[in-house]
Amino acid sequence: MDILGFEFMRNALIAGLLASLICGIIGSLVVVNRIVFISGGIAHASYGGVGLAFFLGLPVLPVTTVFTICAALIMARVTLHSRERSDTVIGVIWAAGMALGIILLDFTPGYNVDLMSYLFGSILAVPQSDLWIMGAMACLVLVLVILFYRGFLVMSFDEEFARSRGVPVDFLYFLLITMVGLCVVMIIRVVGLILVIALLTIPPYMAERRTRSLSRMMTLSTLLSILFTVTGLWLSYAVDITSGAAIIAVASVCFFLSLLLPDKRVG
């Protein structure tokens, strides 16, 4: 356990656990609502917010948050009534956000941020302050999902039936997409946008066909995320490889191995 003797390693571990919790819950909703592509679009578009923050010389986190929530709300509005037929628009917002970010960074004099650190993150360089923000975020997500669990369940299972019962589906959908946006922003600096999408999709996909309820799917997804994050972190330390990529590698290998196993439902 000498690995935990380093403060940056302890911080990385806590960041990984918090990211796992947030991604396990939100990721499960993303997968059952089939909005993986929308979430990917939001994650990439948030890069525009990073560029904007540097261009204006303002703090990165607040600016990116506002920018991403705006992008998420546009995305939600466009996809509200035809989730399947809006991939083109999502793809355009996805690309436009990234391009905007890069152009704004080009216009920013002097110091340029490293694009790689936003793609794969820098989990080993997480400051204490980010941990507090992530912790608050995790609590907020937990409270909102528990508060509206029944609504999310009914909407995710059968949106049309939910609407016919008078469930405020539009509200829930906007709330979900906003939570995805918030969650992406909080985690992106830590683990990078590629890892965000991997954590949002791989564990829930594996958990979906092995559980008997949405809440158990969320729990199993979180546990799987933790397993991948911790193993990946240890691997990156032991073999000295990039941490974000190591975590994704572990998750991907487990994902493909899981495809070989039968879909047996546990608990």
Partner 1 sequence: MVEPVVAITGLNFSFDGLPILENVDLQIEAGDFLAVLGPNGGGKSTLLKLMLGLLKADSGVIRVLGQSPGEAGGRIGYLPQYTHVSTSFPITVLDAVRMGLVQPGFRGIAGLMRSDGEMDKARKALARVDMLGHANRVLAGLSGGQKQRVFIARALVDEPELLLLDEPTASVDSTGRTSLFKLLVELNTDMTVIMVSHDVSALVSGVKSVACVNRNLHFHQAPELSGDMFKRAYGGEECCPVELVTHGHVPHRVLGLHPEDGGEDS
Least distance (Å) between residue 199 CB and partner 1? 19
Which residue reads 């794969």 in tokens? 120
Q: Which residues bind partner 1 (CB under 8 A)?
A: 32, 34, 146-154, 156-168, 171-172, 207-217, 265
Neighbouring C-beta atoms of residue 153, cutoff 10 Å: 15
Token readout for 136 is: 């608050």
Exposed / middle / buried, residue 146 (Cβ in 10 Å: 0-12, 13-18, 19+) = exposed
* Residue with tokens 């650190």, as numbered in its chain: 117
CA distance 202 to 165: 32
Block residue for tokens 């990165």: 60
CB 31, min distance to partner 1, A: 9
Query: Which tokens belong to 50?
Result: 């990073």
- Which of 43/141 has CB closer to partner 1? 141
Spatial CA neighbour of 224 closest among 16, 11, 9, 3: 16
- Listed in sequence order, the residues at least 6 apart from 209 whose beta carbon sits closer than 8 Å to its beta carbon are 263, 265
Q: Using alpha carbons, list the distances in angstroms from residue 149 to 26, 152, 177, 201.
A: 12, 5, 15, 20
CB of 125 to partner 1, least distance (A): 37
Distance of closest approach, residue 57 Cβ to partner 1, in angstroms: 42
The minimum distance between CB 210 and partner 1, in angstroms, equals 8
- For partner 1, the closer of residues 70 and 89 by Cβ is 89
The residue (of 132 and 161) whose beta carbon lies closer to partner 1 is 161
Minimum distance from residue 187 beta carbon to partner 1 (Å):
24
Measured from the CB atom, is 117 or 213 closer to partner 1? 213
Residue nearer to partner 1 on the CB measure, 107 or 161: 161
Q: For partner 1, which is the closer residue by CB, 112 or 213?
A: 213
Tell me the backbone φ, ψ of residue 110, rounded to 5 degrees. Answer: 75, -125
